[in-house]
């Protein structure tokens, strides 16, 4: 009888231990997902470098992962894959001197700052929410430059091939439009200054006398995208009166200072609000 009792106690202890571990794992997982969102996106990139007299725009796809760090600041990881291209036409000519193609991967680590949430509080009924983006980037590139009809070498022949990883710094802005408490449509525009001059495989050229002439400046490109963002779980500030009351008081003061009196809408015409 004693053996059965001991076995039962051991079984209960193992069951309680496994339940506790499972509960802690779920709790940590849920804590990680609080304020965590992911955003697939697609759009275009516009390259500004040496070989871009025309045809500077090409495609880009990407995904962004963000997690709320404060009530108005998000940590951000941005991954893009795309293609760059461009054609150079020298002054006084109508035919291309050279053109290039580049397949690139861009990894950005940074943050987004939401000015409305900072100034007015984390207001749950805010449909539009703009934000500012700042990132440090690494760009892995694989570029090929081709001769054009105005080049002294045969047209279409590969002139240079360059590949590597270049650092850069990115700044931009975005806008969320919330269609539900979890989903939002997103528009972003980000410019990246590259600490390098070979994204178009062209950083110097040789004249007829054999002299090498370096080109001016570093490469630069814009990425403009549209996407859809999904919030896995609401943030830890969702029920904090500190932020909600700040937004309420600010909104009330705006209504009081308005020259027009606020007229309460009829129940049939009230817009449906949701909680974020």
Q: How confident is the model at residue 109 (pLDDT cuts 50, 70, 90)?
A: very high
Q: Which two tokens stand for residue 102?
A: 């580049």
Strand partners, 206: 212
Q: How confident is the model at residue 2 (pLDDT cuts 50, 70, 90)?
A: very low
Please report whether residue 268 resides in a domain: no
Please report whether residue 263 resides in a domain: no
Please report whether residue 4 resides in a domain: no
Please report whether residue 159 resides in a domain: yes
Q: Using an 8 Å Cβ cutoff, are 245 and 251 in contact?
A: no
Nearest residue to 171 via CA among 129, 131, 216: 131
Q: Which domain CATH number covers 41?
A: 2.40.160.20
What pLDDT does 21 receive?
Answer: 43
Q: What share of the chain is helix, strand, coil (3-state, %, to 5)?
A: 20, 45, 35
Please report whether residue 264 resides in a domain: no
Q: Which two tokens stand for residue 177?
A: 């439009």
Report the C-alpha gap between 160 and 145 in whole angstroms: 5
Please report whether residue 141 resides in a domain: yes
Q: Decide which of 164 and 238 is more confident.
A: 164
Q: Using an 8 Å Cβ cutoff, are 163 and 151 in contact?
A: no
Please report whether residue 270 resides in a domain: no
Structural domain of residue 69, as residue ranges? 32-257
Report the C-alpha gap between 176 and 72 in whole angstroms: 14
What pLDDT does 27 receive?
Answer: 46
Please report whether residue 27 resides in a domain: no
- CB-based contacts of 160, cutoff 8 Å, min separation 6: 144, 145, 201, 202
Nearest residue to 59 via CA among 47, 73, 45, 79: 45
Strand partners, 48: 220
Phi/psi at 147 (5° precision):
-70, 145
Q: b vs e for 174-210, b when ≥16 Cβ sit within 10 Å of the residue's Cβ?
A: bebebeeeeebebbbebbbbbebbbbbbbbebeeeee
> Can you tell me the mean pLDDT for 70-91?
87
The total number of structural domains in the chain stands at 1
Q: How confident is the model at residue 75 (pLDDT cuts 50, 70, 90)?
A: very high
Report the C-alpha gap between 174 and 131 in whole angstroms: 5
End-to-end CA gap in the chain: 57
Note the pLDDT tens digit of each residue in 136-165: 999 999 988 888 776 767 676 787 888 899
- Give Cα 217 distance to the centre of its chain: 26
| pTM for this entry | 0.71
């Amino acid at each position: 009888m004693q053996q059965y009792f001991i076995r039962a106690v051991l079984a209960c202890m193992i069951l309680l231990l496994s339940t506790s571990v499972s509960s802690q794992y779920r709790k940590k997982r849920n804590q990680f997902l609080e304020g965590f969102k992911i955003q697939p996106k697609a759009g275009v990139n516009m390259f500004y470098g040496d070989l871009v007299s025309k045809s500077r725009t090409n495609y880009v796809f990407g995904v962004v992962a963000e997690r709320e760090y404060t009530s108005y600041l998000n940590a951000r990881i941005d991954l893009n894959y795309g293609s760059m291209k461009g054609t150079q036409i020298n002054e006084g000519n109508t035919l291309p001197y050279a053109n290039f193609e580049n397949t690139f991967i861009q990894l950005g680590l940074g943050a987004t700052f939401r000015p409305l949430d900072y100034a007015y509080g984390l207001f749950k009924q805010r449909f539009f929410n703009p934000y500012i983006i700042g990132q440090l980037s690494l760009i892995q590139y694989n570029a090929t430059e081709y001769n054009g009809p105005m080049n002294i070498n045969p047209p279409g022949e590969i002139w240079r091939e360059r590949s590597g990883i270049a650092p850069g710094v990115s700044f931009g802005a975005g806008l969320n439009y919330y269609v539900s408490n979890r989903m939002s449509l997103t528009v972003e525009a980000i410019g990246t200054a590259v600490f390098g001059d070979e994204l178009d495989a062209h950083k110097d050229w040789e004249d007829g006398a054999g002299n090498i002439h370096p080109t001016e400046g570093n490469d630069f490109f814009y990425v403009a995208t549209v996407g859809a963002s999904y919030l896995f779980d609401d943030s830890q500030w969702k029920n904090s009166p500190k932020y909600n009351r700040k937004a309420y008081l600010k909104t009330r003061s705006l209504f009081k200072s308005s020259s027009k009196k606020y007229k309460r809408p009829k129940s049939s015409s009230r817009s449906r609000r949701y909680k974020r």
